[in-house]
Structure 1
Amino acid sequence: MFLPRLCFLTIFVLLNFNGDIKFGVCLTSDGLSLLSLKSAVDTASASASFADWNENDSTPCRWSGISCMNISGSADPRVVGISIAGKNLRGYIPSELGGLIYLRRLNFHDNNFYGSIPDQLFNASSLHSIFLYGNNLSGSLPPSMCNLPRLQNLDLSNNSISGPLPKFMRNCRQLQRLILAGNDFSGEIPEGIFPELANLEQLDLSGNKFNGSIPVDIGELKSLSGTLNLSFNLFTGKIPKTLGDLPLTVSFDLRNNNLLGEIPQTGSFANQGPTAFLNNPMLCGFPLQRTCKNNSENTPGIQSASRENEDINESKGLKPGLIILIAVADAIGVAFVGLVIVYVYWKRKDSHGCSCTGKGKLGRNEKTCVFPCISNFPSNDSEVESEKGGGGASGGISGGEGDLVAIDKGFNFELDELLRASAYVLGKSGLGIVYKVVLGNGVPVAVRRLGEGGEQRYKEFVAEVQAIGRVNHPNVVKLRAYYWAPDEKLLISDFISNGNLAFALRGKNGQPSSSLTWLTRLKIAKGTARGLAYLHECSPRKFVHGDIKPSNILLDNEFQPYISDFGLNRLITITGNNPSSSGGFIGGALPYLKPNLPEKTNNYRAPEARVTGSRPTQKWDVYSFGVVLLEMLTGKSPDYSSPTASTSTEILDLVRWVRKGFHEENPLSDMVDPMLLQEVRAKKEVLAVFHIALACTEGDPEVRPRMKTVSENLEKVG
């Protein structure tokens, strides 16, 4: 039994000069248990965090970091949550906290607590979430920890906890998240633990000293999602095939171990990339570029032939005759390049002052054609004005030396029809000029000019365009046709009529469109995720977009999203244009995107994408999509700086601002777009999408989920 209310002195009688009687103040038993925490922390670090923890109060429910709730059968509100995180507190965790029998959530992460976790702490039998990561805790896992009947979340990462992973962990049957990364755990992991953890969704044992084989029964974690992280340990032996029995959405991280043998090819192994197995010198097989010896023995012709060729090349130098032949070929190549340059010069000189690049200054002495170097451009100034974005322009054929090729066989029209059609300039960027063209049948299309170069790379250009053209998904802009000539390349795609997400979010006055209700935003998020997952998993090239942002998410009149601009950077490289800036306009209605709404592309890019020379990966796209989600949720741009920064030098971008808000358990109303606050029923859905966005914007790309997983999780919302 416990006493619901204790007193420091039940009745303290003090006779003063007037004979008055004064009564002492009573503090609840929960308050007394909490005062033990204040006493256990060094005074120097505790002054600010415990300033309002006063033993003369009648209840601790108004103290900083304390949450209370009315419990049936109890006269006073009881403590159900302690959250004192990131305060640089130095001290130990007192065993008296185990007296808080209604405590559900304990959050001490990112402090300097030391010593072992007291076994008596788990007398607080209502605990379901324990967050102690980022401290200096040591010792081993307490045996009574799994006596908690409701323990769901246990994060002890980045401490100095040691010892083996004990067998009693199998008694934590309600666990959903077990995160022990960055400690000093060692020894072999015993079998029999994981089959009992049927509810486990996240398992991270990385950065320890576990050795021996990976447990075979880890494949029985049927509820696992996200990443199974066993990296940076001392695991040896072969990778058990049973890992292939894990859900297909699970990503592996087995880097930096001593695993050996061939990587299994069954089940979920088929969805893993090479980074999952790096720095295991004795591993071989797909997806690593390291062939197993057994495979080379089965195909001796291939392996031995390649080795013999290498030996021959190493043993023999270039013969004199071959050297002369190479020199002659070089001379012919230089001469040919010179002829091409002369040809291009005279071609431009004869184009009547019509700029073939679309980059010249518009004026009376220089014209910018709607389709330069293909159509004859009238010489009146009204056409120059239409080039600035207003009216239509038309022209006849000048006999361009090229072919208009329809990728979609049901989309037939002639080149002269395209050139005679009314055209409107939508925008200009490093990815070319974009026009809206209305064909004779009234169907609008978007036409992008890519540039004049690349005449020597025709086959490469066609191969890339054909790969883009084979992409067919309801949430991806469809490429319909292309035109190739030595001095002109055009892409013809669907025209999407309702602008893009950037304009919908920020509009003319910087405020979201009133049409962007929660259901509409969720629809846009789901459609974009489906389209991006298709590009990653099912498209012919398994495309990496590399530049996901709101201006590349086009919207139709029903607010159905369409991803645009995928594959363009490669085409720009072939044609020799400069892709330094991305307009994000292919297929989109650009008059709605005003110049006074700049979009800082780098703020959508993953941290590793900002390193010069880095190559795009699918995890880049996942991060960028996460930033777009946060922008839709908060209504704030990605370069948002927190107005509550503690110092003038502390600048929090949108991702860090949201993460800080969740760590500090700020009210959701402080972070969500005010327009969404009216939709009370959507609160749980908004919170679920916040968690998906935070998973997408993890700093470590290996921790981020695949787009397929992101899409599946979004589909469950609502």
Structure 2
Amino acid sequence: MLNLYINPIFPILFYLNYASPILFFLNYAAALTTDGLSLLSVKSAVDGGDTVFSDWNDSDATPCHWSGVTCANISGDPDARVVGLALAGRSLHGYIPSELGSLVYLRRLNLHDNSFSGSIPDQIFNATSLHSIFLYGNNLTGEIPASICNPSRLQNVDLSHNSISGPLRKSLGNCRQLQRLILGGNNISGEIPSGIFPELANLVQLDLSSNSFNGSLPYDIGQLKSLSGTLNLSFNHFAGKLPASLGDLPLTVSFDLQHNNFSGEIPQSGSFSNQGPTAFLNNPSLCGFPLQKTCRNNSSAIPPGTQASTPAIADNESKKGLKPGLIILISLADAFGVALIGLVIVYLYWRRKDSNGCSCTCKVKFGGNQKSKFCSFPCVNGFPNTDSEAESEKASGAGDASAVSGAAEGGELVAIDKGFSFELDELLRASAYVLGKSGLGIVYKVVLGNGIPVAVRRLGEGGEQRYKEFVAEVQAIGRVKHPNVVKLRAYYWALDEKLLISDFISNGNLASALRGQTSTILSWSTRLKIAKGTARGLAYLHECSPRKFVHGDIKPSNILLDNEHQPHISDFGLNRLINITGNNPSSSGGFMGGALPYLAQTEKVNNYQAPEARVSSNRPTQKWDVYSFGVVLLELLTGKSPEFSSPTSSTSTEISDLVRWVRKGFEEETPLSDMVDPLLLQEVHAKKEVLSVFHLALACTERDFEIRPRMKTVSESLEKIRT
């Protein structure tokens, strides 16, 4: 018979042995979501995690208020789910836990600039919603996980500056939504297999630099039709000939193929024609244009427009005498030359005679390329001669003090532009409105008798022994003719007075417009017009001007606007002139050809300078201007000045706060509406265009000047953006 007696102590033992742990687990699970439990693995994996993540408590109901964690409400799920983890730049040591792959709604994983070591766990890519992973700047080893393409929407992968090794697998082609693949600064080796690039139809940025790749480039690399910016394959061991298919890449793509073992002739088709010699340096066996190394027995390596050799004259032609018709032509040419020389001699004689008898009124026409010498600069009402007078003039608005007491004896006035004529007295006796004073000289607005305003800049009084140097510099500036560059019309030189006369641009400058100090309404179409015009002007200065200028001080106050909102770049070449005349160019003007509203805004030059430009020993380069232009683009897009800093940002002496703020916004996928100027939010149709300009601005403001695009490339990219 079954004993039905139950010991009274049995229920107590059952509770202690079984029920208590079960209830404890249920209580713990109810206290923290599954996403929170997965995140606690990071706390365990980081050295000193209890201190670093002091606000990550297992007793919390949700991890959504933990530092670095972003949550969102997912349709059909009662709990807010983790969609972002951002722990960048916190000097974290440890490893990356595989439990992060349990965060099925994780979209952004941002752990860059720490000291994580070990390999990247395959399980991370079980987070199938992942579309951005930033692990650069750590000590990660091992290979690129084979599961990297498991998340079907993966768009951004940056694993650069680690110690990742192994090959690049063909399965990478399964990441069909990939837009940015940045693997530079690792130890990845082997050949790049064919078949990857045709699958990456959305790839915008590719950086495989500073690795150990070898072999030849796959021919299908030319199928990256969405690529922009710089294709960076530098500092590897690539060999063989450059595939002609590289020329099929978009014309806006810049190549960086330095420090490899490429050989043979550089193709001359498509995108190759837009590359400079820097793109191909340190490939000892590479030859052809644009390198200064011709290919043996190959005249095609010589740039178009040059002649490889002088054709030999046939023997039968060399033996023939001159034909009678040719003898007559030679005789006529000789007679014409003698007559021309005589006319020149007579002209110089009479000009010298007239010059010796010049009067002190010296009325001179600003026409042709005439040089007008005169005895003395008359005492007129035009230009105050002292700084104190300039300040009083600026306060009253007009210069009516009669203090110019002349420039000096032996002064020389030179008109540069043929189509611009007026009498010198007309210029000197007109009322001069002071526009401003800076290290680049005092600037006046002068309205001539015909109603045409000009801007007159007074430079320093020194430089007596550097006349030829001054003239050479001014003439070089005067030869610059572009609709988006302020035109220099004439100059005056005397021992104690130097003047520059240029066009007057009447509608303020971009700095004033951005801050609402002018009547200019900066709609998106207007901003894009300004960006395009400025890029065209800079590209001209860099590529087409006689001296291939480096401006060195691109910023909104040096971008003048006319009544049609067309931009005009001012102040290029002035630092050199100021050095010659003895002034201190430490403060920036932004006044050449400008109007009074420009003076309302003063800017710190460093806010627009490239990081390498802040080292005093470095010589200016065109890439400095590219960086500065990129900052201007960001200012046009965001409406924020470069010194802008968000509450979470820290001060940096290497990159302006605005640049870092925008980069962080893109890494963390901040909504575009949170970054653009609120004035542009109503122009919904411009979203794609705004995004394109953002990407271009970020390319211009790269830390590494080598991978910044040329201004020509930037200008061409902007021209493709239509409003």
Under TM normalisation by the shorter chain, which class is it? 0.7 to 0.9
Determine if contact 2:673/2:681 at 8 Å carries over to the other structure. no
Taking a change above 3 Å as real, the CA distance of residues 575 and 293 of structure 1, as seen in their structure-2 partners, is: farther
CA offset at residue 430 of structure 1? Answer: 4.7
What is the aligned-residue identity percentage? 66
Alignment of 1:520-559 (within 5 A): 524-537=530-543, 539=545, 541-557=547-563, 559=565
Q: Which residue of the partner structure matches residue 359 of structure 1?
A: none
CA distance in 2, matches of 1:101, 1:458: 68
CA offset at residue 698 of structure 1? Answer: 1.7
Taking a change above 3 Å as real, the CA distance of residues 84 and 77 of structure 1, as seen in their structure-2 partners, is: same
Taking a change above 3 Å as real, the CA distance of residues 578 and 97 of structure 1, as seen in their structure-2 partners, is: closer
Q: 1:704 aligns with which of 708, 711, 715?
A: 708
3-state DSSP of counterpart to 2:247: helix
> Does 2:42 match 1:37?
yes
CA distance in 2, matches of 1:381, 1:712: 43
3-state DSSP of counterpart to 1:228: strand
> Does 2:469 match 1:467?
no
Determine if contact 1:25/1:57 at 8 Å carries over to the other structure. no
Q: TM-score, normalised by structure 2?
A: 0.74
Bigger Rg, which one: 2
CA offset at residue 465 of structure 1? Answer: 4.1
Determine if contact 1:642/1:657 at 8 Å carries over to the other structure. no
Q: Which residue of the partner structure matches residue 476 of structure 1?
A: 485
Q: Which residue of the partner structure matches residue 563 of structure 1?
A: 569
Q: Deviations over 1:190-223 (max 9, x none)?
A: 2221122111110000010001122222122111
CA distance in 1, matches of 2:126, 2:670: 30
Taking a change above 3 Å as real, the CA distance of residues 10 and 373 of structure 1, as seen in their structure-2 partners, is: farther
CA distance in 2, matches of 1:386, 1:449: 14
Q: TM-score, normalised by structure 1?
A: 0.75
CA offset at residue 129 of structure 1? Answer: 1.5
Q: Which residue of the partner structure matches residue 375 of structure 1?
A: 377
Q: Which residue of the partner structure matches residue 17 of structure 1?
A: none
Determine if contact 2:510/2:561 at 8 Å carries over to the other structure. yes
Determine if contact 1:210/1:233 at 8 Å carries over to the other structure. yes
Q: Which amino acid aligns with 1:422?
A: S
Q: Deviations over 1:165-188 (max 9, x none)?
A: 111112222211111111110111
CA distance in 2, matches of 1:693, 1:462: 32
CA offset at residue 506 of structure 1? Answer: 6.3
CA distance in 2, matches of 1:276, 1:505: 37
Alignment of 1:415-430 (within 5 A): 415-430=424-439
Q: Which amino acid aligns with 1:376?
A: P
Q: 1:107 aligns with which of 107, 110, 113?
A: 110
CA distance in 1, matches of 2:377, 2:399: 14
CA distance in 1, matches of 2:548, 2:126: 52
Q: Deviations over 1:410-435 (max 9, x none)?
A: x3333343334333343444544433
Q: Which residue of the partner structure matches residue 322 of structure 1?
A: none
Alignment of 1:144-543 (within 5 A): 144-294=147-297, 375-378=377-380, 387=390, 388-389=393-394, 390-392=397-399, 402=412, 404-405=414-415, 407=417, 409=419, 411-449=420-458, 453=464, 454-456=466-468, 460-461=472-473, 463-468=475-480, 471-473=481-483, 475-479=484-488, 481-483=489-491, 490-504=499-513, 519=524, 524-537=530-543, 539=545, 541-543=547-549
**RMSD, aligned CA:** 4.4
Q: Which amino acid aligns with 1:467?
A: R
Taking a change above 3 Å as real, the CA distance of residues 529 and 136 of structure 1, as seen in their structure-2 partners, is: same
Q: Which residue of the partner structure matches residue 90 of structure 1?
A: 93
Q: Which amino acid aligns with 2:172?
A: M
Q: Which residue of the partner structure matches residue 339 of structure 1?
A: none
CA distance in 2, matches of 1:624, 1:382: 35
CA distance in 2, matches of 1:221, 1:292: 29
CA offset at residue 125 of structure 1? Answer: 1.9
Determine if contact 2:646/2:661 at 8 Å carries over to the other structure. no
Taking a change above 3 Å as real, the CA distance of residues 167 and 381 of structure 1, as seen in their structure-2 partners, is: closer
Determine if contact 1:198/1:223 at 8 Å carries over to the other structure. yes
Alignment of 1:43-58 (within 5 A): 44=48, 46-58=49-61
Taking a change above 3 Å as real, the CA distance of residues 572 and 695 of structure 1, as seen in their structure-2 partners, is: same
3-state DSSP of counterpart to 2:133: strand
Taking a change above 3 Å as real, the CA distance of residues 155 and 667 of structure 1, as seen in their structure-2 partners, is: closer
> Does 2:601 match 1:588?
no
3-state DSSP of counterpart to 1:593: helix
Determine if contact 2:262/2:286 at 8 Å carries over to the other structure. yes
Q: Which moved more, 1:538-547 or 1:163-172?
A: 538-547
Taking a change above 3 Å as real, the CA distance of residues 245 and 579 of structure 1, as seen in their structure-2 partners, is: same
Q: How many residues align?
A: 627
CA distance in 1, matches of 2:55, 2:23: 26
Q: Deviations over 1:683-713 (max 9, x none)?
A: 9877765554433222111222333444455
CA distance in 2, matches of 1:9, 1:241: 73
> Does 2:609 match 1:605?
yes
Determine if contact 1:689/1:717 at 8 Å carries over to the other structure. no
CA distance in 2, matches of 1:670, 1:222: 28
Determine if contact 2:160/2:186 at 8 Å carries over to the other structure. yes
3-state DSSP of counterpart to 2:479: helix
Taking a change above 3 Å as real, the CA distance of residues 434 and 101 of structure 1, as seen in their structure-2 partners, is: same
CA offset at residue 399 of structure 1? Answer: 9.6
Q: Deviations over 1:490-548 (max 9, x none)?
A: 443221123333445568xxxx6796656465654454334323433455554332221
Determine if contact 1:12/1:23 at 8 Å carries over to the other structure. no
Determine if contact 1:49/1:64 at 8 Å carries over to the other structure. no
Q: Structure 2: where are the runs of 5+ without partners?
A: 1-17, 311-359, 361-372
Q: Which residue of the partner structure matches residue 361 of structure 1?
A: none
CA distance in 2, matches of 1:170, 1:501: 45
CA distance in 2, matches of 1:580, 1:39: 54
Taking a change above 3 Å as real, the CA distance of residues 449 and 238 of structure 1, as seen in their structure-2 partners, is: farther
CA distance in 2, matches of 1:26, 1:193: 46
Taking a change above 3 Å as real, the CA distance of residues 41 and 663 of structure 1, as seen in their structure-2 partners, is: farther
Taking a change above 3 Å as real, the CA distance of residues 658 and 670 of structure 1, as seen in their structure-2 partners, is: farther
Q: Which amino acid aligns with 2:281?
A: L
Taking a change above 3 Å as real, the CA distance of residues 159 and 717 of structure 1, as seen in their structure-2 partners, is: farther
CA distance in 2, matches of 1:625, 1:577: 27
Taking a change above 3 Å as real, the CA distance of residues 478 and 291 of structure 1, as seen in their structure-2 partners, is: same
CA offset at residue 28 of structure 1? Answer: 3.2
Q: Which amino acid aligns with 2:604?
A: K
Taking a change above 3 Å as real, the CA distance of residues 54 and 640 of structure 1, as seen in their structure-2 partners, is: closer
Taking a change above 3 Å as real, the CA distance of residues 133 and 645 of structure 1, as seen in their structure-2 partners, is: closer
CA offset at residue 75 of structure 1? Answer: 3.2
CA distance in 2, matches of 1:198, 1:29: 36
CA offset at residue 224 of structure 1? Answer: 0.6
3-state DSSP of counterpart to 2:148: helix
Determine if contact 1:634/1:671 at 8 Å carries over to the other structure. no
